[in-house]
Amino acid sequence: MEVLKVSDEIRKDRSLITYLDRLKEQDITVLVTGNVKIEENHNTYAKLCEKVGLELVEPLYNRDTLKLLLKYIEIGLEFLIMGIRKK
């Protein structure tokens, strides 16, 4: 799996756009991300996909994070908590 860093400005993401264009040339039509709650990431990926003509799928986006955490524990998935926000 290749990992590329995403900028907060699409015009700076030339390498990612080029990479996604190459994937599209290989008949890849969908970009799947693991974003759960970060709207900025969602918006950035949506703009990138629109620019290169890919469908964006975010199966975890806006899901209940506590339910996800409990499910991860239940199935033995290893994960990393990157931050906790108070309500």
For residue 39, the model assigns a pLDDT of: 87
For residue 36, the model assigns a pLDDT of: 86
| Distance, CA of 73 to CA of 78 (rounded, Å) | 8
For residue 86, the model assigns a pLDDT of: 72
Q: Could you give the dihedral angle defined by the CA atoms of residues 64, 61, 75 and 3, in that order, rounded to the nearest 10 degrees?
A: -140
For residue 25, the model assigns a pLDDT of: 92
User: Does 71 map to a domain?
Assistant: no
Q: Which of the residues in the chain have pLDDT under 70?
A: 1-13, 87
User: Does 1 map to a domain?
Assistant: no
The number of domains in the chain is: 1
pTM of the model: 0.68
Residue ranges making up the domain that contains 32: 10-62
User: Does 84 map to a domain?
Assistant: no
| Distance, CA of 32 to CA of 53 (rounded, Å) | 14
For residue 4, the model assigns a pLDDT of: 52
* CA-to-CA dists, residue 49 to 25, 44, 59, angstroms: 14, 9, 16
Amino acid (one-letter) located at 46: A
